[in-house]
Structure 1
Amino acid sequence: MAVLLFIVAIIGVGTWVFLQTERFGKHPSGERKLKIEQSANYESGGFKNLNHTPTLTEGVSYGKVLYEFFFSSKPKEPTKPLSTVKTNLKALKADENVLVWMGHSSYFIQLDGKKILVDPVLSGNASPLSFTTRAYKGADIYTTDDIPEIDYLFLSHDHWDHMDYRTLKNLRSKIKNVITGIGNGAHFTHWGFNPEIILEGDWYDAFQLEEGIKVHVTPARHFSGRGLKRNQTLWASFVLKTPSSSVYIGGDSGYDTHFKKIGEKYGPFDLAILENGQYNESWKYIHMLPGEQLKSANDLGARTIFPVHSGKFTLANHDWDEPLTKITELASANDRRVITPKIGEKVNLNDDLQQFEDWWRSVELLGKDVR
């Protein structure tokens, strides 16, 4: 018994020490914490969604989810490197309005002369342990060395597949401004970012960035947390208004009434970037199920959908290509424009007729337990 208690104590101490490492960031404190506590979206020690949002669907237990995740599910992953096209981001002409996807929810936008980066995860994995949640072969073609100076970095929330410690540390000298939900600035300042470049907003706050460019911080239906304590920082979506375009940057979100309100308040949109992947009926309130992207785009008044949150990591129990297959089939049946570029392929934001191939259909798959 003494030996067992000693082992348990060692494991407990080791876990505590690991959770104190820099990669986990830092919870808000001081003046930042006081501002958070004044938010209408903060209650009983944490942020909340606009409507009741259980993490798991009614009747589903964590035990069931864990068993399925580790033992019973066999999602198919690509067995060979993905087909990609690596656009040189540093060689873009200043007048090009383009979008370049980097897999999952990471993408680069150049719009009206401004360089924008969203939720960059470029270190090869999406977890605190580098040997877990690895990127698919060929999906991680961009490194921080490929990224030019960034005018505006958007960070939707602090989950590991969106806020990557190693990527952000390496990009720090290239980032001119950070735009994120309130509380997340604590992570950035802990990692050495200048507090003066960090713009933290509550839902429906607005930032006039410069002449003709405005950002609104808008709601999402999700949660936050990098360690054991959840919802200490705000998850968000964003509305980006520039002289030529109106773009909705969705972040992670389950379907809810906020899409309709955002559409009524800020729409219509030229482009809606919406999560499409890592879903499950067991957590249907915090990630959209297939088809809900089309409902969201209709609520937003969006002309074009760019589906993200797939194509790089396995975080759910569906096959890796299922999200892209389903959304393209549903879009075709509903006469909705959905763009599906390869990782690294240049999307011309001024060309509504640009076509993209169903590149994922030719990728060889292997059914296996990937964990």
Structure 2
Amino acid sequence: MPNQIKVDLGVTVLPDDHKIWKLFGGEGYKFLKIMLESKLAFIDVRNLDELGPDPAKWDKGKLLEHVSIDRWRRQVASTGVETARHVSPTDKLNMTLVEGLLLSARRGDIIAIPHPGTDGYVTIAQLTSKPGEIKTVVAQDGRRNYTYVGRRFKHLGTLNKRDLPFEFVERLQTPIAFFDTGNSGREDVYQAAYGSYIYDGVNFAKYRTKKEVYTSRDNRTVSTWMEFVDVAANPDALSFAKLKTKSNSITDLIDLANLDELDRSDLSININSPGEIVMKAIASSPLVGLAIYPMAAGGVPYAQALKAEVTMSAVGDASTKECKAQVGQEVRDVIEALGAEKWQSACEIAVRAANETTLKTDSSLKE
């Protein structure tokens, strides 16, 4: 009996309430470099470690006083005038920002860290520590060093502001240090962070090509694969096409399939070098495609492909159990419905896509 194949889809399942936060690197981006080097997200309030090791136990009154005194000392140092100190609306806002980063943002949430300039970069990172789990870093501000309290993150990707929606960039340019960015730019950020993912009931599969010259023949090969995935993952369309032709040709199959436009995946295509093609659908076809592509391109025999299982990862409290079982069964159903000869034809298309167009995904085979 052949070894069982496992396909890691390279897909990340995100919770429906997953958030993307903007984090500012301080006035004049003065802390951007140390944030990225230390992989620590922090708000520009000095020496918060004096309040204790657990932010959840900080007294709110003492926290507000600490924030207010820190702001007042900076003001005096800047102006040279020692005015009377009182708690200001800015102090209350800054306290809210500190609590938001240290206590409200959850492990697995995304932070978008803008770099200088309207056409600069945005670092996309993911919080790796639980709320309340803090670390410190010493950073220079002016002529002195201070301790800053923050949370650990890992780098996931980088985007150019020119490639992002105007509304999202405008939000990133605001001087507020930390806030939930909402839905604007979400797909761009997730594609940079995860590539292929599931969010709010929608499935996204990213394919990549590094071919220097992308020809009309390449486009036909890739388009054939994408359309085949939509047809194969739709039982009614596949059955209809099989009734209409005895041919094992994949192009004949997709030409004869009675697939409604509403059942087709949305395609987002950016053919540069490197180029990207993203399949997006409520239906599971993008995930099915990620599962069968490495098997077909790798020439996995029909009998072995029939027994394939799939794996994926999750962020936060999102679960993969139900999705893994459903997609795994759909993949096996698709391969069985194709039969050995049509599976071989699908392998030929995938091999051509991989070799001639350099089409790749983050999905991979594991025995």
TM-score w.r.t. the length of structure 1 is: 0.22
Name the structure where strand makes up a greater proportion of residues: 2
Name the structure where helix makes up a greater proportion of residues: 2
Q: Larger RCO: Structure 1 or Structure 2 (Cα < 8 Å, ≥ 6 residues apart)?
A: 2
Which protein is bigger by CA-based radius of gyration? Answer: 2
